[in-house]
């Protein structure tokens, strides 16, 4: 079990001392996180790491997951897509299905937190159960250009919260409640990010029958259209005309994502019979993700829209050169030509990939800068501090708290 002190060699003693001081101020408060899945995707990833550490710091932190059927998750997936700006028709029956499941969860869930921390739109309606406690809504989505009807529907709930939390200034909207800006983070000591012996990396490559005899370009992502796996294959195909390399597209499915199987099939069709394209349906196995990232020459994240994009920080922490789209939280992580390369299209991604594959020294420099950028900004220790200061600020609304 990881302890808070285990982070001292990575981040320094004084940061950990500060965390303990702040944690002590929250003694006696119960923080209840609520989201819609315990596995798959960035929210579950972060909560899994933060909950035990917050507990050790003295903040009594628990985590509950709402229930929902296929229809509900189809609707919330549609909400997610249109909030990100994708075109789709949202009907009254979608809103009704959302409200039906919300009612069911309102009856089933026990709300016991002094602070109830609700993640994303799926459980947003639970706020109807608020009594004397504090409620926070954590929005992981870029809602700067949302679907009007869906946003108005959500606003009826949002205004009932004490505050909303966004990952970046550009994701947020004007709201009548307090707003906080807190980017997510990665855990350098998790199975996903810790150092791995070369034998483990080799074993994982063998398991998936990948021979590291030519450069490996990798995208790790759920099979989701917004992650553009087909676009990644197109970029690879352009690069392949000039540089003999291989592509790994690896992803599992999240229990709240019904579209995965279809997107996976589209990628398989696009890959056709190219033996250098490895499309892997991963089990939930963090060591495997870690090993595939470490085995890669270059990491890609060619998303069309993105929340924060944790996979980018994961790759940079491993000092990998990254080519990623200039969307969502990615430009917070990649300063173009300093800690990676940003792109805007298939052609742009292909051009950047060729550049990095042809210039290993340049690629290494970008990766090294990326690792330091993540150390300074996107590790879990910074995130713990921001969350605890946020919780404290709820009890001191008149004081300014700098996050
Ligand atoms: N991930 C994983 N297995 C997979 C695909 C993704 O463990 O097969 C992880 C990935 O390493 C990252 C998270 O899921 O930690 C995805 O977070 P991100 O912010 O990149 O995207 P999201 O899925 O939340 O849109």
Q: What confidence score (pLDDT) does residue 256 get?
A: 64
CATH fold for domain 4-185+379-393: Rossmann fold (3.40.50)
Determine whether the shortest distance from the Cβ of 221 to ligand 1 is under 6 A: yes
CATH fold for domain 198-377: Rossmann fold (3.40.50)
Q: Which atom of ligand 1 is nearest to the CA of 312?
A: 20
Determine whether the shortest distance from the Cβ of 289 to ligand 1 is under 6 A: yes
Nearest Cα residue to 237 out of 350, 343, 124 = 350
Cα 107 to middle of ligand 1, angstroms = 31
Determine whether the shortest distance from the Cβ of 187 to ligand 1 is under 6 A: no
**Structure tokens that stand for 37 in this block:** 């899945």
Q: How far apart (Å, rounded) are the C-alpha atoms in residues 126 and 111? A: 9
115, 31 Cβ separation under 8 angstroms: yes
Name the pairing type of β-strands 115-119 and 178-181: unpaired
Q: Which atom of ligand 1 is nearest to the CA of 285?
A: 7
Determine whether the shortest distance from the Cβ of 218 to ligand 1 is under 6 A: no
Q: CATH 3.40.50.2000 region(s) of the chain?
A: 4-185+379-393, 198-377
In sequence order, what are the residues at sequence separation of 6 or more whose Cβ sits closer than 8 angstroms to the Cβ of residue 182? Answer: 165, 166, 167, 383, 386, 387, 390, 403
374, 317 Cβ separation under 8 angstroms: yes
Is 11 buried (19+), middle (13-18) or exposed (0-12) by CB count in 10 A?
middle
Determine whether the shortest distance from the Cβ of 183 to ligand 1 is under 6 A: no
Q: How far apart (Å, rounded) are the C-alpha atoms in residues 59 and 388? A: 8
In sequence order, what are the residues at sequence separation of 6 or more whose Cβ sits closer than 8 angstroms to the Cβ of residue 206? Answer: none
Q: How far apart (Å, rounded) are the C-alpha atoms in residues 203 and 211? A: 11
Q: How far apart (Å, rounded) are the C-alpha atoms in residues 213 and 109? A: 53
CA distances from 93 to 71, 99, 192 (A): 10, 10, 40
Cα 40 to middle of ligand 1, angstroms = 7
What is the pTM for the complete model shown? 0.90
Q: What is the largest CA-CA distance in the chain?
A: 64
Q: Report mean pLDDT in 10-residue bins for the chain, 403 residues.
A: 95 97 96 92 88 96 96 95 89 97 97 97 96 95 90 97 92 91 94 97 98 97 94 98 98 74 93 95 92 98 93 98 96 97 98 98 98 97 97 78 47
SS3 156: helix
The alpha carbon torsion through 286, 289, 295, 296 (nearest 10 deg) reads: -150
Determine whether the shortest distance from the Cβ of 329 to ligand 1 is under 6 A: no
Nearest Cα residue to 164 out of 143, 150, 194 = 143
Determine whether the shortest distance from the Cβ of 311 to ligand 1 is under 6 A: yes
Cα 399 to middle of ligand 1, angstroms = 36
Q: How far apart (Å, rounded) are the C-alpha atoms in residues 131 and 115? A: 11
Determine whether the shortest distance from the Cβ of 328 to ligand 1 is under 6 A: no
- In 149-266, where do the E strands start and end? 163-166, 178-181, 216-220, 246-251
């Amino acid at each position: 079990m990881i302890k808070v002190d285990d982070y001292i060699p990575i981040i320094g003693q004084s940061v950990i001392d500060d965390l303990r001081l702040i944690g002590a101020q929250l003694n006696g408060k119960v923080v209840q996180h609520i989201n819609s899945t315990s596995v798959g995707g960035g929210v579950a990833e972060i909560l899994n790491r933060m909950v035990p550490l917050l507990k050790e710091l003295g903040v009594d932190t628990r985590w509950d997951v709402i229930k929902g059927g296929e229809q509900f998750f189809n609707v919330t997936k549609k909400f997610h897509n249109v909030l990100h700006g994708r075109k789709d028709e949202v009907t009254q029956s979608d809103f009704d299905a959302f409200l039906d499941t919300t009612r069911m969860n309102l009856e089933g869930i026990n709300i016991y937190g002094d602070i109830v921390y609700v993640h994303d739109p799926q459980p947003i309606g639970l706020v109807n159960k608020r009594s004397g406690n504090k409620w926070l809504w954590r929005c992981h989505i870029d809602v700067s250009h949302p679907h009007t009807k869906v946003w108005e529907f959500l606003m009826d709930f949002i205004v009932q919260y004490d505050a909303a939390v966004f990952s970046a200034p550009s994701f947020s909207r004007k709201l009548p409640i307090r707003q906080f800006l807190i980017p997510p983070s990665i855990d350098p000591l998790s199975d996903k990010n810790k150092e791995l012996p070369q034998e483990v990396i080799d074993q994982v490559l063998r398991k998936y029958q990948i021979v590291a005899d030519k450069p490996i370009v990798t995208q790790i992502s759920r099979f989701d259209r917004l992650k553009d796996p087909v676009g990644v294959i197109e970029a690879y195909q352009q690069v392949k005309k000039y540089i003999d390399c291989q592509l790994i597209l690896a992803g599992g499915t999240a229990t709240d994502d019904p579209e995965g199987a279809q997107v996976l099939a589209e990628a398989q069709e696009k890959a056709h019979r190219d033996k250098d394209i490895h499309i892997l349906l991963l089990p939930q196995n963090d060591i495997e993700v870690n090993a595939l990232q470490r085995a890669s020459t270059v990491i890609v994240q060619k998303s069309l829209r993105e929340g924060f994009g944790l996979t980018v920080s994961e790759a940079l922490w491993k000092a990998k050169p990254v080519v990623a789209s200039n969307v969502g939280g990615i430009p917070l992580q990649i300063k173009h030509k300093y800690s990676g390369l940003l792109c805007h299209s298939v052609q742009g991604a292909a051009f950047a990939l060729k550049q990095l594959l042809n210039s290993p020294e340049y690629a290494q420099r970008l990766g090294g800068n990326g690792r330091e950028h993540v150390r300074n900004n996107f590790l879990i220790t910074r995130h713990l501090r921001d969350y605890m200061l946020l919780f404290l600020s709820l009890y001191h609304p008149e004081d300014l708290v700098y996050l």
